[in-house]
Chains A and B, each alone.
Chain A
Amino acid sequence: MSAPLWRKRTPGQDAIVFMAWVLALAFVSWTFQVMTQDTIWAFVADAPAQVVDIGSRMLPPAWSFMGELWWPLWETLNIATLGTLLGVMLAVPVAFLAARNTTPSARFVRPLALLAIVGSRSINSLIWALLLVAILGPGVLAGIIAIALRSIGFVGKLLYEAIEEIDPRQVEAVQATGASGAQVMAWGVAPQIAPTLAGISVFRWDINIRESTVLGLVGAGGIGVKLEAALGTLAWPKVTMLLIAIFATVLVSEWVTAQVRKKLI
């Protein structure tokens, strides 16, 4: 007669999968309950009206405001670029200390370097900026250092993984000629990771442009300062203009990054 219908799982497995879904759903609804226990639902229900209201205030954009934005945009560019430069300069030694094949001591130095990388990666540049503004005062410098501190972890992690994957034969060949440690680095290791480092730096620069547009919200310079001011005074047409400027900046940086990466690969 006809063979039994083929099924993906046995009935027992089906029951386990079903229970897992029920449990997962119950867990998520419970977390949702905990999260929204203080939510004022009247404000949420009011949202569509708010959307229409804010939308009508935002249009048309204040085009003439653009004249005031060139300087903050230049600052934003500087925060991202100088921050990336500083971050890369700090990340390269950290990466060499963290890579298993170049670290001076796998037991003592490597864990410290890895800790620096993880610490830098766990904290968003906006939080770094928040701390640095409190310490150094508002301005571009706090932004540059915030971007640099966040970039160390990102660049350091990708770079040390690249260093661990280099071809050891080239290093050996240079060592066999009697080269000193520094010469081995310069002629055996550096040429192998230079393209990777350039790629990572450009990639991070693109991310940093995006992040530096909002650093000003906590006072760390750039176009975010204007955004904060416009939001604080409820100047919605100016906010629209700022968003257009930020959007255009991000698109340009994305285009530049794509061009450079095409050249590198």
Chain B
Amino acid sequence: MTAAASAPGHWRRPPFIASPAWRWGLILGGALYLVLALASLEVNWARVSEGLARGWRFVAAFLQPDFGSRRGDIVIGFQESLTMTVTATALGVALSIPVAVGAARNLAPVWIYLLCRGFIAVSRTLNEIIVAIFLVAMFGFGPFAGFLTLTFATIGFMAKLMAEDIEEIAPGQLEALRATGASYPQLLDFAVLSQVLPRLIGLSLYRLDINFRESAVIGIVGAGGIGATLNTAMDRYEFDTAAAVILVIIAIVMLAEYASGWLRQRIQ
């Protein structure tokens, strides 16, 4: 540093990674990986150039989406997606509350804590699509399997974030209520719920938003919803119908995002 400071006009920006061994190791390793990865790419350029024409047809379809000719399918798809979103969020949030309390170290004994944390870990690691594949195999095609998938994912998501919030509540209020001889449900109602309620509502709205996005995807593996409509449209190469579906998805997602953002601001 002193040598650099004493030579005016030769200041150099400090490197992003301080240790030279790590820096050069990462640069070389990254370069080697890129060469290997790009070399192993198998791209059928003939097929790609052939597809580009189709790509233009698809872009053109976005400018002229066809809402009309599959109107019935689109309406049913969105009806399934929206009902799936509402029911899964409601049940998922309701079930996540006991799991969250169980996964909070300051409220639950160790064995319940480990059980709930284990459940959360499993629910968060399993991809929704994979869960949906299995639930479709077990419960049959349709939105009921999708509803169960989203409920399962909602429990893990909500319980993890709520448990972290519960663990951070002010311990003074807990102690004060315990000192009055309050029962466990009273403790939850007056000491815990009152402190975490704004976050519970905010996260539920956020999850509602996520569940709608996910409901558009799990239909691809047969779990009902708008994803099934989209998949069918793509299989038939009806790009204009697919474009219509995608535009409606974007519109609903934007609407949900603004609405839930606005509501969360009002609450917090």
Contacts and interface: CB of A to CB of B under 8 A. Distances in A.
B214 interface: yes
B237 A134 contact: yes
A211 to B, nearest CB: 8
B27 interface: no
Contacts of A134: 54, 58, 234, 237, 239
A123 interface: yes
A5 interface: no
Interface in A201-244: 210-211, 213-214, 217-218, 231, 243
B250 A118 contact: yes
Contacts of A243: 130
Contacts of B54: 134-135
A54 interface: yes
Nearest to A39: B144
A35 B80 contact: yes
Contacts of A78: 37, 40-41
A118 B87 contact: no
Contact of B87 (A28, A40, A214, A218): A28
B59 to A, nearest CB: 10
B138 A139 contact: no
B55 to A, nearest CB: 4
A214 B125 CA distance: 13
Interface size class of A (residues with CB under 8 A): 35 or more
A168 B261 CA distance: 27
B44 A130 contact: no
Contact of B140 (A40, A54, A77, A210): A40
Contacts of B239: 134
A180 interface: no
Given A78-B40, A122-B253, A194-B16, A35 B217 contact: no
B127 A213 contact: yes
A43 interface: yes
B182 interface: no
Nearest to A250: B125
A122 B37 contact: no
A44 B140 contact: yes
A182 interface: no
Nearest to A243: B130
Contact of B130 (A139, A187, A198, A214): A214
B266 interface: no
Nearest to A44: B139
B79 A38 contact: no
Contact of A123 (B55, B190, B250): B250
Specify the main secondary structure of chain A where it touches its partner: helix
B84 interface: yes
B86 A191 contact: no
A36 B143 contact: yes
Contacts of B110: none
Contacts of A213: 127
Contact of B137 (A54, A75, A136, A247): A54
A8 B133 CA distance: 46
B87 A31 contact: yes
Contacts of B213: 122, 124
A135 B239 CA distance: 10
Contacts of B242: 131
A94 interface: no
A157 B144 CA distance: 34
Interface string B188-214: 001000000000000000000000011
B90 interface: yes
B127 A214 contact: yes
A247 B125 CA distance: 8
Contacts of B55: 135-136
B28 interface: no
B58 A135 contact: yes
A43 to B, nearest CB: 3
Contacts of B144: 35-36, 39, 44
A17 interface: no
Interface string B110-135: 00000000000000010101100110
Contacts of B125: 247, 250-251
Interface of A: 8, 24, 27-28, 31-32, 34-36, 38-40, 43-44, 47, 50-51, 54, 74-75, 77-78, 81-82, 118-119, 121-124, 126-127, 130-131, 134-137, 139-141, 187, 191, 194, 198, 210-211, 213-214, 217-218, 231, 243, 246-247, 250-251
Given A82-B38, A118-B254, 15 more contacts: A8-B190, A35-B87, A47-B138, A74-B40, A118-B250, A118-B257, A122-B249, A122-B254, A126-B129, A130-B234, A139-B43, A140-B43, A141-B48, A198-B16, A246-B130
8 contacts: A8-B190, A78-B37, A118-B250, A134-B239, A135-B58, A136-B47, A187-B13, A247-B125
